Amino acid sequence: MSQTEESVIKSEEFEREPVPHSHLKTWKSFLGMYAGEHAAGTEFVIGPLFLTTGVSAFDLIIGLLLGNFMAVLSWRYLTAEIAVRNRLTLYYQLEKICGKKLVTFYNIANGLLFCFLAGAMITVSATAVGIPFDMQMPKLTDTMPNSYTWVIIVLLIGAVISIIAAKGYDTVSRAANWLSPFLVLAFFACGVVALSQLGVGSFSDFWNIWGKGSDPFPGQIKYTFWHVFLWSWFCNAAMHIGMSDLSVFRYAKNPASGWTTAAGMYVGHYMAWIAAALLYAVYVQSPEAQEFLANGEAPPVAPGPLAYNAIGVFGILAVIIAGWTTANPTIYRAGLAFQAIFPKASTFWMTILAGLTATIAGLFPAFAMKLLGFVALYGFILAPVGAIIVFDQFFAKRFGVISNYAERAGINVNMSFLLAWVLSFVLFYFVSVSQGVFLSFLTLPAWLSCGFLYILFSRFWQEKITLADSR
């Protein structure tokens, strides 16, 4: 979901040294980027999916308000704070703590998750491209491709996006920034038109679209205030508490630039999500959607037709562009992650590999139709890595632990890092699966657990190494 890192920095610039003072940027450099990054293809899916969970008006509107605020605080007081202190990329900071081999392991996980996210965005664009061909749209319960038309359109979109990402990222990056206002306007227009179609004439009419909530659609789970609050806080957990945006804010003059993330949260993750939900609310009232519900099925969430119904061809273009501007930099970042694993391979071919992986993922609608769950899993896996950076930064000295241990000890694998990450993931993921606990409820416990375990294991492990070296 992120084009910010590439918009702020050039590839291979200050990768293994602190950013010099001459290259620091003011808060204005981050404001537009975050606003544009978070009004993107994912929003066309996430907004409608909230409606399928039977959420109430209070739980949605207030939950999003507070959850996004917590995300902003996380960026401001954790990510931006550490980024400005050290001015290092995430990858170099990790290498200092955990060692080169574990950074490679992290890159594999990061690269694959980026590919799956990009695949979901290819799916989003395909729902718009398929409209002139009267293509059957994927249902919420679909996991496999549903037609040859779908396969052909996804393959073509994936090929175009992959080639552009591999050969012309600078141009795409500039284009994405220029197109951001268009996408914000498109979401706003969709929301206004949908309100008119729903006959909303007052705030109480708007509130009553969700009212006190309802039963979730078939195959979906019921969302409460806490589901909305925690999901909206942690849907970008990999970026803030997971510290991925260290690479972005290392260019900030001071940590206060972290407040600019509010532009992304309240333009994209508030206005755009609600606007997209309104589009789906209009569709749910249609005879076609009611027939699905009468048959015990959830009506499909297809961003292309939803936007087309509201603002015509402008809506089709908005969905295609939104999916493209999200998938393209995501594939590019995945290619860089893979290239770090195979440094002798060219970035071009690693990006093509990432694009191929993303395109294959895009063939399967489940990545887009289950986007709420996938994004929760994405943050859950990568966020605990950020806890180790935070605890190493703020608590290592207090508890007698050597900071940046892998660098100082000259090792490629810091076992304290590996054990803390794996144990936290396995323990809390098992709790989620075995007890049916919503994964976003466990992201913060897993994050704290990983940080505490890292400090605990480091005290034990570093002491043992010291004792062994003294013999």
In the chain, % of residues over pLDDT 90: 36
Mean pLDDT (the chain, rounded): 85
Interatomic CA distance for residues 278 and 276, integer angstroms: 5
Residue 226 has pLDDT above 90, yes or no: yes
Residue 402 has pLDDT above 50, yes or no: yes
Interatomic CA distance for residues 104 and 106, integer angstroms: 5
**Is the CATH code 1.10.760.10 the one for domain 4-383?**
no
**Tell me, what's the pLDDT at 15?**
63
**Tell me, what's the pLDDT at 1?**
45
Q: What is the pLDDT of residues 241-263, one digit of tens each?
A: 999 888 788 888 999 999 999 98
Interatomic CA distance for residues 194 and 199, integer angstroms: 9
**Tell me, what's the pLDDT at 300?**
82
Residue 6 has pLDDT above 60, yes or no: no
Residue 449 has pLDDT above 90, yes or no: yes
Structure tokens at 360: 């294959």
The CA–CA distances, whole Å, from 12 to 9, 17, 95, 193, 327 equal 9, 11, 16, 45, 21
**Tell me, what's the pLDDT at 466?**
60
Q: What is the pLDDT of residues 351-396, one digit of tens each?
A: 899 999 999 999 998 887 788 788 888 889 999 999 999 999 999 8
The residue type at 68: N
Structure tokens at 98: 């955990």
Of the listed ranges 34-43, 233-242, 414-423, the least confidently predicted one is: 34-43
pLDDT bucket at 121, cuts 50 / 70 / 90: confident
Interatomic CA distance for residues 272 and 112, integer angstroms: 27
Of the listed ranges 290-304, 322-336, 418-432, the least confidently predicted one is: 322-336
DSSP sequence for 129-142? HTGGGTPPPPPTT-
User: What residue spans define the domains of the chain?
Assistant: 4-383
The CA–CA distances, whole Å, from 15 to 20, 89, 124, 241, 246 equal 12, 6, 33, 21, 12
Q: What is the pLDDT of residues 134-190, one digit of tens each?
A: 788 887 777 788 888 889 999 999 998 888 878 755 555 566 667 778 888 888 999
Residue 12 has pLDDT above 60, yes or no: no
CA atoms within 13 A on the CB side of 198: 27
Interatomic CA distance for residues 2 and 5, integer angstroms: 7
DSSP sequence for 222-249? PP-HHHHHHHHHHTTTTTTTT-TTHHHH
**Tell me, what's the pLDDT at 3?**
47
DSSP sequence for 332-386? HHHHHHHHHHSTTS-HHHHHHHHHHHHHHHHTSTHHHHTHHHHHHHHHHHHHHHH
pTM to 2 decimals? Answer: 0.85
Question: Across the strands, what pairs with 25?
Answer: 252
Backbone angles phi, psi at 436, to 5 degrees: 70, 35
Q: What is the pLDDT of residues 194-210, one digit of tens each?
A: 999 999 989 999 999 99
Residue 111 has pLDDT above 80, yes or no: yes
Span 409-428, average pLDDT: 92
Of the listed ranges 37-46, 227-236, 290-299, 462-471, the least confidently predicted one is: 462-471
CA atoms within 13 A on the CB side of 249: 29
pLDDT bucket at 5, cuts 50 / 70 / 90: very low
Residue 4 has pLDDT above 60, yes or no: no
**Tell me, what's the pLDDT at 471?**
41
Interatomic CA distance for residues 58 and 51, integer angstroms: 13
Residue 464 has pLDDT above 70, yes or no: no
The residue type at 138: P
Residue 468 has pLDDT above 60, yes or no: no
